[in-house]
Amino acid sequence: MSLGIKAKNGVVLVTDKKVSSVLVDDSDYTKIQNITPSTGFVFSGMGPDFRVLVRNSRKSAQKYYLTYREIQPISEVVRESALVMQEYTQSGGVRPFGVSVLAAGYDDDGPQLYQIDPSGAAFGWKATAIGKNYVNAKNFLERRYTEDMELDDAVHIALLTMRESFEGEMTENNIEVGIIKEDKQFRILSSSEVKDYLDEAN
């Protein structure tokens, strides 16, 4: 499951990082990716499909930068990605993307959170969840969400929401957290930072 919460001063993305076997080296496995310096994606679904979408989005963002000499706004990143996903629903010889995506960013209008579905539909959200048990997670978020919350509070609520449906112990090694603040730099938190947040949430 993956979820995102928009706070008044930033956005947080949280996802579980479960691997199929204890023998898998999970140090290279990541579900949260940067698209531009100010935009990050997280997915639920098929990893290889997400990889194709990330590559397309990065190429599109780079073209935008070379043309206009500025970072592509998150609304444009989302629109381009949704367009690619929609094309795959109506083209011959291909199948739709087996992945839903949450996009977090920060632009001139403030923090932004979007969800992109395999159909190509894209919507802005204050808080949402995708993947396994997303219905329960959304219900939990509806009870806890307030529009004036700070980013730190949003991270805590995101972790509490994940814990509601998490199987086994939640540690800094099996979840990932990405945040963007007013500095407009999307980054993935280190294991030690995630551990600090988990200790505070306990």
pLDDT of residue 169: 86
- The arithmetic mean of pLDDT across residues 179-195, rounded, is 95
pLDDT of residue 166: 85
pLDDT of residue 25: 79
- The arithmetic mean of pLDDT across residues 145-166, rounded, is 93
DSSP at 73: P
- CA–CA dist 121, 26 (Å, integer): 32
> Taking a C-beta distance cutoff of 8 angstroms, is the pair 99, 31 a contact?
no
> Which residue has tokens 């200790």?
199
If residue 119 lies in a helix (H) or strand (E), which one and from where to where? none
If residue 197 lies in a helix (H) or strand (E), which one and from where to where? helix 191-201
For residue range 61-116, list pLDDT tens digits in order: 999 999 999 999 999 999 999 999 999 999 889 999 999 999 999 999 999 999 99
Kindly state the tokens that stand for 50. 């997400």
pLDDT of residue 168: 82
pLDDT of residue 28: 77
pTM flag (> 0.95): no
- CA–CA dist 125, 118 (Å, integer): 17
Mean of the per-residue pLDDT values for the chain?
93
- The arithmetic mean of pLDDT across residues 37-58, rounded, is 96
> Taking a C-beta distance cutoff of 8 angstroms, is the pair 197, 27 a contact?
no
